[in-house]
Amino acid sequence: MTSKQNKVLLTEVALRDGSHALSHQYTVDQVAAIAKALNDANMPYIEVAHGDGLAGSSLQYGLSKTNEFELIEAAVSVADRAKIAVLLLPGIGTVKELKQAASLGAKMARIATHVTEADVSAQHIYAAKELGMETVGFLMMSHTAQPEKIVEQAKLMETYGADIVYVVDSAGALLPNQVRARIRAMKQHLSVEIGFHAHNNLSLAMANTLAAIEEGATRIDGSVRCLGAGAGNTQTEVLVAVLERMGIETGVDLYKMMDLAEDVIAPMLPVPQEITKGSLVLGYAGVYSSFALHAQRAAAKFNLDARDILIELGKRKVVGGQEDMIVDVAAELAKAKTFA
């Protein structure tokens, strides 16, 4: 139970994952102010992009208020110590956007794929390395795959040149012992650094983050004031406090992070990041937050409880891009109900 390392490197994701919580309405002034405060608090990495990564701004994923390259530029301009990171989901973003981000001064590329589809990240990881960027492989929806499968996929990313591979609990569905098993297996079989990205849908973001660190993860994501998709991520300023209490160094200034959360972030939030019925059921079912609205519509159409649809989708391990299946599942559930 004792932590093996006494130091972790944090990445603040409020300007990327947190963009979901603001319906992607960040302005240049907001991003500059937040990035400056994070830089002053000695945050090592600050991720800036649409919530669904570079080129995510679209009718399907939500239109950004501001062109993301203007936001990246604003963050780079105020960050004299922190490195700016970008997220790229192959299929949404391309190498073209990655090059543009690098040319603007982004120093870290995080290439994200579904946990079983690491092979689609190859060309993007190669490109990021060629651009001289520190490169992360980001295995999303990691609760849907067993540790052995995750090791296999992480090894692909390692082979492509990733410097770090993350276990990403996109739906906030992992339990602490499941996080342990995944990180432990990766530590045994990989040479690169291991990272962990939590969501708080089951109120386990902090528990899972500590479990990951105890098993050897050294790169950890947090979002100030919990600003992220679903119920948000591991709350950064709280994580800094907890790690300080545990004797694990982050180098990040606790008071400055608290002040940023309270004085800058909280007043910007349209609704606070509570664990609502909606986010809880997503974590319990283990499905993407983008499914919620579709499930509600299907529930209304077929006179069902949206929760039953989401839980069934979770059992079937439906992934992003398969939103069409929601109506099929609802129809089946309605039929089963009729004949029950």
189 is catalytic: no
Is 17 known as a binding-site position? yes
Q: Candidates 119, 148, 249, 274: give the one binding a copy of itself (CB under 8 A).
A: 274
How far is Cα of residue 244 from the mean position of the Cα atoms in its chain? 23
Q: Where are the alpha helices (DSSP H) in 53-146?
A: 68-78, 95-103, 122-130
How far is Cα of residue 262 from the mean position of the Cα atoms in its chain? 22
Q: Does 264 bind a copy of itself (CB under 8 A)?
A: no
- Choose, from 20, 24, 50, 294, the residue flagged as catalytic: 20
* Options 5-13, 61-69, 98-106, 278-286: segment touching a copy of itself (CB under 8 A): 278-286
- In whole angstroms, how large is the CA radius of gyration of the chain? 19
Distance, CA of 197 to CA of 217 (rounded, Å): 10
User: Least distance (Å) from a copy of itself to the CB of residue 310?
Assistant: 12
Q: 310-316 contacts: CB < 8 A, separation 24 or more?
A: 310/281, 310/282, 310/285, 311/281, 311/284, 311/285, 313/285, 313/287, 314/173, 314/284, 314/285, 314/286, 314/287
Q: Does 164 bind a copy of itself (CB under 8 A)?
A: no
* Options 39-47, 82-90, 126-134, 257-265: segment touching a copy of itself (CB under 8 A): 257-265
Q: Does 277 bind a copy of itself (CB under 8 A)?
A: yes
Q: Check if the beta carbon of residue 87 is closer than 8 Å to that of residue 49.
A: yes
Residue with smaller CB distance to a copy of itself, 118 or 248: 248
Q: Does 215 bind a copy of itself (CB under 8 A)?
A: no
Residues of the binding site for Mn(2+):
17, 197, 199
Residues contributing to the site for a copy of itself (CB under 8 A): 1, 175-177, 180, 200, 202-207, 210, 225-226, 234-235, 237-239, 241-242, 244-246, 254-255, 258-259, 261-262, 266, 272-277, 280-281, 283-284, 305, 307
Q: Give the active site residues.
A: 20
